[in-house]
Amino acid sequence: MDNQEELEKLIDKLMVNDSLDQPSLDFTENVLAKLPGIQNAHFVYKPLLPKSIFIIGAFLVLSLVVVILKNHGFSEIDSRYINNLNDMGASINNFFGQVRFSKTATYVIILGGFLFFVQTLILKKHVDSRFV
């Protein structure tokens, strides 16, 4: 074995024990802070279910609708279900028709709804900025 080969084997043997150094814990955050381009970028949302599952689901629902229509027809559905729905709507109307709000309570509800809407926008902005 010549000198060069021996040297190569020696250093190979030494470097097997080499290990990597680690930068500071906030290294990645510091890099992102230096990139205004990526900070302004929007977070890319990924749907929980893939598209194919949605397509299969939509196909199954459509198939179900087609099977029901074929077996019962439109007129039977009207007579069976639409009347029931009308009855349900009427009873809900009756229930809420009896409820009376004072003027103050109405203003409080409107103001509460408005603040809820504003808070939703602020929260959305906050969450977006955390992900960017």
Where on the chain is the footprint of other proteins (CB under 8 A)? 3-4, 6-11, 13-24, 27-28, 30-32, 34-35, 37-44, 131-132
CA 90 to chain centre: 36
* Nearest distance, CB of residue 124 and other proteins, angstroms: 17
The residue (of 40 and 104) whose beta carbon lies closer to other proteins is 40
Cα(31)–Cα(43) distance, integer angstroms: 17
* Nearest distance, CB of residue 121 and other proteins, angstroms: 22
The residue (of 28 and 83) whose beta carbon lies closer to other proteins is 28
Cα(70)–Cα(62) distance, integer angstroms: 12
The residue (of 114 and 131) whose beta carbon lies closer to other proteins is 131
3-state secondary structure of 17: coil
* Nearest distance, CB of residue 127 and other proteins, angstroms: 14
Cα(33)–Cα(106) distance, integer angstroms: 47
Percent helix / strand / coil, the chain, rounded to 5: 75, 0, 25
* Nearest distance, CB of residue 47 and other proteins, angstroms: 15
The residue (of 30 and 79) whose beta carbon lies closer to other proteins is 30
